[in-house]
Structure 1
Amino acid sequence: MKSVKHKGLALVAVSSSMVGLGVGMAGTASALAWSSTNAGPNAALKAQATVSGSGASAVLTVNSDATGSKGDSNITDFGDGTTASTLQATHAYAPGALKETLTETSHSDVSATTTTKQVAVDATDPANIKYTSSVLIDLNAAGAVVTSHGTSSFDLSKILPAGTDLSGLAGTCDHGRGALPLTIDTKAMLATCNWTGAAATGQHVVTLTYSDNATGLKSTADEAIGIAAPPVAAFTTTVLSPGLVSVNTRGSSVENGIGTIDWGDGSTSQQTMPIGIGQLEEHTYTTTGLKTITFSVVDKYGQQASTTQQVDVSKANANFGQLTQFAGATRYGTGVAVSQEAFPFAHSAGAVVLARGDVYADALAGIPLAKAKNGPLLLTPGGASAKSLDANVAAEIKRVLPADKKHTVYILGGVEAIPQSIQDYISNTLGYNVERFGGATRYDTALGVAQNPQALNNPKHIVVARGDDFADALSSGPLASDKFTDASGAPAAIVLSTGNGVTEPVSLTPATAAYVTAKEAAAHPAGQTDVAAIGGGAVKAVAAISPNAANYTPIAGVDRFDTAAKVASFGWGTKPAALGVANGMNFPDSLTGGALMALQGSPLLLSVPGATSVSEATSAAMTADKDSVKNTYLFGGDQVFPYAVATDIMKLEGLNPAWYREAQLPF
C-alpha cells in the first residue's frame, strides 16, 4: 500500500461568529461566503489546503466544506473573486498565493438574518504543516523506490516535481524504529537510506520527509516496503543423454523475482520465482563437450545472485532416475496427490478404497484390497463429528471413476468410523456402488476384508501384522500385494495381532487364530508357506499357536525401520525398480503411499520425520538397491522430509539431485 500525506492547515477560533486560521506570511485576504435561507441561519465552514510546486510557482488548492450550514441561500466566496454555490467546492489559487481567508455566509429569508464564518488558510507557517507541503512527494511513481536488504534508494527525479531546488533539500527516513539520515546525491538524483543493522527482514513502513530550506515548508510520504533476505542461486544438473541436460533449481531462494538459466551457448531459459520447489528445465546442445551453465536470480527489490557450473554433456549420467515427493496441506491432500500419480488419466481406476484418515484401525487391511481392485486408497475425516466426505476427496473419486453406476467405492470400518451419511452421499449424490467392510473391532474388519467374497475372497496367502500399531502392517502392504501373492497373482490378505511381546502380551482373536491355523495346515509346496508374520509382535503371536515353525515365514527387525528394510530385502532382494519412503511415526502418508507402492510392485521403507538423515537400516537398504531403482517416492512434506534428507536419499540411491520433482497440492 502506498499513501501520500500533506501537512500544513490549522483552524483557530477568533470570535463568536468568526473562526480564523492564522499563518505567518501576509497575503491577499479573501472571503468565502455561504448564503442559505432558513428560519435560523447558521454558518459552518471547514477548509483543507494542499500545495504543489515550490517558490513562486507554488499553487495553493483549497477544499471547502460548508455542509454544516443552515440557511436558504448559499454563496461561497474564496476571496479572490471566485464564488461557488455548492456546499463543497475546490478552488486553486494563482501561483504564489499561499495565504487566503475564506468567508461563508448563511442567510435566512424568513428571519432576514445572516451569519458568517471565516477560515484563514496559510501555507507558509512551519508551525501549521498538518496538511500543506511545498513539494508534492509522489512515492506512487513507477520505480520511485528501490529497496534491498540494507538500503532504500529514492529516485528524486521521479518523486519530486521537475525543477525542484535540491540545494535546500534535507530529510530522514523512518523504518518504524526511529528516523535514519537520508544521504542525498544531487548529481545522481538519489536519496539513500542505509538499513544495515536497523531493520529486520520483513515488511516496514518508510516515511520520507522533505524539508525546503528556502521556504521552511515540509512534506512527508509513507510507503510500506519489504526488506528481503539476499537471494540464493543454486542448481544441480543431470545429463540425460549426450547433449541433453536437465537443470533443477531446487535449493534456490528468492522473493518474487525471476531466475535465468544461461546455457552457455547463447540461449537462455527463465523461471518465475519464488524458487525452491524443484523447478526443472531441459536443454539440448548442438555439440557435446564441456559447457558452462550459469543460473542467476533477481528479486523484486533488485537484489541479485548467481552461480556457475561446468558440465560435460558428452555422456549421460549412469542413473538419472527420478525422486518424487508427495505433499498436501493435509493428509487428505497428500492422498489425492498420490492418487493422481497412480491414476493420471481420468476414469482410469477400477475402484476406490476409502478409509478414515484420523484413526488407522480399520485402514490397515486396505492396501492389498486397493491393489486387488486396481484403485487408490483415499482418506476422509471420520467419527461422529464427520458430517460429510472431504470435498477434495469427493472430487478425486469423481475424477478416477467413470460415472456409469457400475464402479464401487469400498469403505473400511463401520458407521462409527465413517458415518452412514457419507456412504449415502457417495451412493445417492456421486452415483457409485458402495461396499462397506466393518466389524466390531479392527481385527474383525481385517478378517472380513480377507474372507468376504466382495473383498479379497479368502486368498491362499495371508500376512499377520500388529493391529495395535500401524508401522509393520503398512510396510507389509506392498509385500502382501506383490511378492506374497499366490500363483494367480492374487494379493495376500493382512490380518491383525495385538501386543509387542516385550512389554505387553501377544495374542490373536479366536477367529483370527483359527484362520491362521487353517492357512498353515493347507497344502503348499515344500519350502514355501502360506503365512508370513511381519514384526516381532506378530511373529511371537503366530509362534504361540503354530505347532511347526516351518509353517510360517517370520520377518522381524530390531525396530520398525529395520523390519521394513527386512521386508524389502525378503520380497525384492536388491532388484526393486522403485522405492517408497514414508513417515514411520505416523500412519496417513504411509497408508496412501503404501497403496501406490503396491500398485508399483515395489517396497515401502520408513523414515523418522524431521531427521537429518535416514535410519541405518533404511540407509543400508537404499544402498543395496541403488543399481536397480529408477524412481524413488517420498510420502510427506518438508516437515517429514527436509531437503537435507531428500538429498541424502538421492545420494544413497545414486540419483542426481537435478531430477527431483515435487507433487504438491494446496489442500
Structure 2
Amino acid sequence: MKKRKVLVMLLLCMSLSIPSISFGVEDIQENIGAEEIEMTEEVLEDNNQTNGNKVEEKIEETDSSVKRISGSDRYKTALEISKNTFEQADMAIIAYSHNFPDAMFGGKLAVRYNMPILLSQKDKISDEVMNELDRLKVKKVYILGGQSAISLKAERQLLNKYSVKRLAGKDRAHTAWEINLEITRIAEGIPDTEPLPFWDSSSQIMASGYDFADALSAAPFVGQLKGSEEVNLYGHYPTESYAFVPYFGDEPFYGGAFIIGGPKAVPHMWPSDEYHAQGVGRRIYGANRYATAVEIAKLYPLSIGKEIDTVVLASGLNYPDALAAAPYVSTQNAALLLTHPLQLSIETKRYIQNHKIKNVIVLGGENAVSSNVVKELESMIF
C-alpha cells in the first residue's frame, strides 16, 4: 500500500510539471507538438460525478466572478449549458455523447447559426433532451454522425415532432465535411439536391481528430471566424467561412489556412517558410494543449474583433463537459481555455492574470475542475 501511494504521488507530481513556454502564430522551427494524451472514446466515468453521488444540475450563483455550470452527467451538463445560452432556438444539434469529433467539429455549425448542442445516447433521445427542444421551440434538428452514433430508432423519435436532417459521411472525417457543407448550404440557400465541391485546401482549418484538446479550444474561435472574400484557387467555391476539419491521416497535410496544434498533432508537408510564401499553413500552437488554447485566445481581438474579458474553463484531460460549450462561449466576450483538473495550469493562469479577465465560467463538476482550482481562480479575479 505504501509503495502504491508513493507511485501515485510521483505520477501526480509529474502530471503537474507542465512546460510553461508558449508559442504564437509563427514559423515552425522546433518540433514541439500538442501534448499527447491517449483518450478512449468510451469514457467510463463522467467528470461531473463525484464518488457515485449525483450533482444537481445548476449554474452556481455566488458573489464571486467565478461560476460553475454543471449537471449530474455529460447529458445534463449539456442541457445546463443550453439553458444558460438560449431562450429560443429554431435549430438544434443532437450528437453522440461518447465520441468527440462529431460534436466538436459540429461546434462551428452551432456557433454560426445559434444552435445548442445536446448530447444523446445511441438508441434513445432522453425525456430531458426532448423537453429542452420543446422549451427552445426548435423546428429543425440536426443529427451528427451515422447510425452507429445516433440510431435510426432515435431519429424516428425526433421525426415525430421535428424536421430532422442527418449530417453523416462514411467516417468521422467525411462527417466533418458534411457539417461544413451544410453551413454553406444554409448561407447560400443551396438545396440538398445540388452537389457541392469540397473546400480548396487553402480555406481549411485543421486540428487533430485523434485527440480532443486542440479542436475543443478552437471550435468557438473557428465558428466566429469569417472566411476570405477572395475567390479561392479553383475559382468556384464560396469562402464565406473556413472549413473546420479533423486530421486523421498518416501522411503529412499540405494545405490549410490555419493548423491548430503542433507538428505531432498535424504534420505538415513542406518547410514552414515555403508554406508561408504561399500564404497558407499558419500554425497556432504552444508547448502543450494548455498553451495552444492560450495562443488561440490571443487571436480573438485581431481576428474576430472581440476583447476577451471572460474565460470559459474546461478540463484539459477529458472532453464530455465541454462538448456543448462552443455556442455558449461565442455568446460571451470569451475564449475557451483548459486546465488540469487538480491545479490551474500555469499557461491558463498567466493568460488570466495578463489580460484583465473579469469572469471565469467553469464547465463540469468537481472531477472535471476541482474546488482547489476554483479557489485559486477566486483569489485572482476581483
**Residue of structure 2 in register with 1:497 after alignment:** 247
Over 3 Å counting, the alpha-carbon distance change for 1:340 and 1:388 in structure 2 is: same
Over 3 Å counting, the alpha-carbon distance change for 1:564 and 1:332 in structure 2 is: same
Tell me how far apart the structure 1 counterparts of residues 291 and 73 of structure 2 sit (CA, whole Å): 28
Q: 1:648 Cα deviation (Å)?
A: 1.1
**Residue of structure 2 in register with 1:394 after alignment:** 130
Tell me how far apart the structure 1 counterparts of residues 103 and 248 of structure 2 sit (CA, whole Å): 16
Instruction: State yes or no: 1:533 paired with 2:259.
Output: yes
Q: TM-score, normalised by structure 1?
A: 0.41
**Residue of structure 2 in register with 1:265 after alignment:** none
Q: 1:342 Cα deviation (Å)?
A: 0.2
User: Among residues 347, 362, 382, which one is paired with 1:634 in the alignment?
Assistant: 362
Tell me how far apart the structure 1 counterparts of residues 164 and 173 of structure 2 sit (CA, whole Å): 21
Q: 1:416 Cα deviation (Å)?
A: 1.1
For the pair shown, the structure with the greater C-alpha radius of gyration is 1
Tell me how far apart the structure 2 counterparts of residues 438 and 608 of structure 1 sit (CA, whole Å): 33
Q: Is the 8 A contact 1:450 1:456 kept in 2?
A: no
SS at match of 1:541: coil
User: Among residues 643, 651, 665, which one is paired with 2:379 in the alignment?
Assistant: 651
Tell me how far apart the structure 2 counterparts of residues 280 and 618 of structure 1 sit (CA, whole Å): 22
| 1:169-206 superposed Cα distances (whole Å, 9 cap, x missing partner) | xxxxxxxxxxxxxxxxxxxxxxxxxxxxxxxxxxxxxx
| Equivalent runs, 1:597-608 vs 2, <5 Å | 597-608=329-340
Structure number with greater CO (CA < 8 Å, separation at least 6) is 2
Letter of the 1:647 partner, please give it.
K
Q: Unaligned 5+ residue runs, structure 1?
A: 1-276, 282-319, 500-504, 521-530, 656-667
More helix by share: 2
Q: 1:548 Cα deviation (Å)?
A: 2.6
Q: 1:641 Cα deviation (Å)?
A: 2.1
| 1:118-145 superposed Cα distances (whole Å, 9 cap, x missing partner) | xxxxxxxxxxxxxxxxxxxxxxxxxxxx
Tell me how far apart the structure 2 counterparts of residues 349 and 603 of structure 1 sit (CA, whole Å): 22
SS at match of 1:603: strand
Q: 1:651 Cα deviation (Å)?
A: 2.8
Moved more, 416-425 or 600-609: 600-609
Q: Unaligned 5+ residue runs, structure 2?
A: 1-58, 189-197, 230-238
Letter of the 2:283 partner, please give it.
P
Tell me how far apart the structure 1 counterparts of residues 377 and 187 of structure 2 sit (CA, whole Å): 35
Q: Give the length in aligned residue pairs.
A: 297
Q: 1:566 Cα deviation (Å)?
A: 0.9
Q: 1:434 Cα deviation (Å)?
A: 0.9
Tell me how far apart the structure 2 counterparts of residues 479 and 538 of structure 1 sit (CA, whole Å): 22
User: Among residues 355, 370, 380, which one is paired with 2:95 in the alignment?
Assistant: 355
Letter of the 1:379 partner, please give it.
L
**Residue of structure 2 in register with 1:617 after alignment:** 347
| Equivalent runs, 1:402-413 vs 2, <5 Å | 402=138, 407-413=139-145
| Equivalent runs, 1:140-539 vs 2, <5 Å | 280=62, 322-343=65-86, 345=87, 348-382=88-122, 387-402=123-138, 407-428=139-160, 431-452=161-182, 453-454=184-185, 461-482=203-224, 484-486=225-227, 491-498=241-248, 506-507=251-252, 517=255, 531-537=257-263
| 1:589-621 superposed Cα distances (whole Å, 9 cap, x missing partner) | 122123311233521001112x1x211111111
**Residue of structure 2 in register with 1:590 after alignment:** 322
Q: 1:545 Cα deviation (Å)?
A: 9.7
Q: 1:352 Cα deviation (Å)?
A: 0.6
More strand by share: 1
Q: Is the 8 A contact 1:463 1:476 kept in 2?
A: no
Instruction: State yes or no: 1:566 paired with 2:295.
Output: yes
Letter of the 2:218 partner, please give it.
S
Identity %: 26
Over 3 Å counting, the alpha-carbon distance change for 1:425 and 1:454 in structure 2 is: farther
Tell me how far apart the structure 2 counterparts of residues 335 and 442 of structure 1 sit (CA, whole Å): 21
Q: Is the 8 A contact 1:506 1:537 kept in 2?
A: no
Q: 1:540 Cα deviation (Å)?
A: 4.5
Q: Is the 8 A contact 1:607 1:614 kept in 2?
A: yes
Q: 1:542 Cα deviation (Å)?
A: 4.1
